[in-house]
Amino acid sequence: MARDFAPPDTNRYRLRYRVLGKGHNLTVRPPNTHTIADASATATKLHAFLEAIKTHLYNDFTIVNAQWCDRDSEVFLPCEAPAPTTGGVSTSGITGVAGAISMGFVGRGSAGSKAGFYLYGHNYDVPVNSAAESDFRLTASEIPVVAAAITALSELAPAFVAIDGSPVMWYPYVNLKYNDRWVRKLRQG
């Protein structure tokens, strides 16, 4: 029988950012051998990831702060945040719909657990503006920026882990999706 895992089974690093007037969190799981003293390695890796994708981030993308939570804890403490990344896409003329689209990076831990996170504030549009986007999935072979971002996640240390503590193997694609919460907020005005 498979073991159930709880969020505190691993360390967690939470990046808080704002884009298109909304606040978001991006949570990854550094190795359990790391402590808050090693947060700079995670910050450096996330900076490389954001730099790889910055040409498709809106130019108001702002890192607010970062927090670290040790394994077996629920207390998030301030820690080193990634260096600032400036997006390359103007927010001029952008509607609220753009803020509802998430880009999901997904993978699987070597022991079988799913892993992933969502990024907001990119200019890939779900309403199938091109053949590459028609299946709501952008592959590394279709989009060089996606390839560079996945390479940063896959090859730079430290290796992020799944909830079971095993290293994540990132899939060579990202999924585009309208987030239900942000769609509901748009409908409510």
How much is the pTM?
0.90
96-130 per-position pLDDT tens digit: 888 888 999 999 999 999 999 999 999 876 445 56
Closest C-alpha to 173, from 132, 139, 134, 128: 139
Pairwise CA distance, residues 163 & 42, whole Å:
17
Q: Phi/psi at 98 (nearest 5 deg)? A: -60, -30
Give me the mean pLDDT over the 177-186 stretch: 83
In a domain, 86, yes or no: yes
Pairwise CA distance, residues 35 & 50, whole Å:
23
Domain containing 63 equals 9-188
Q: In this structure, are residues 60 and 27 in contact, taking their beta carbons and an 8 Å threshold?
A: no
In a domain, 39, yes or no: yes
Closest C-alpha to 115, from 167, 43, 150: 167
Q: In this structure, are residues 105 and 153 in contact, taking their beta carbons and an 8 Å threshold?
A: yes
In a domain, 118, yes or no: yes
In a domain, 20, yes or no: yes
Question: Which amino acid would we find at residue 103?
Answer: M
In a domain, 18, yes or no: yes
In a domain, 1, yes or no: no
CA distances from 38 to 33, 34, 41, 62, 81 (A): 9, 6, 6, 23, 12
Cα 132 vs. chain centroid, distance in angstroms?
21
Q: What is the mean pLDDT of the chain?
A: 90
136-148 per-position pLDDT tens digit: 889 999 889 999 9
Strand duo 62-69 + 77-79: pairing: antiparallel
158: pLDDT strictly greater than 80: yes
Tokens 């799913």, located at residue: 114
Q: Is 79 helix (H, G, I), strand (E, B) or coil?
A: strand
Q: b/e per residue, 38-55, with b = 16+ CB within 10 A?
A: bbebbbbbbbbbbbbbbe
Structure-model confidence comparison of residues 97 and 27, the more confident one: 27
Q: In this structure, are residues 148 and 52 in contact, taking their beta carbons and an 8 Å threshold?
A: yes
In a domain, 2, yes or no: no
58-104 per-position pLDDT tens digit: 999 999 999 999 999 999 999 999 999 999 999 998 888 888 889 99
pLDDT of residue 1: 40
pLDDT of residue 94: 87
In a domain, 4, yes or no: no
pLDDT of residue 130: 60
Cis amide linkage into residue 158, ω under 30° from 0: yes
Instruction: Specify the number of domains making up the chain.
Output: 1
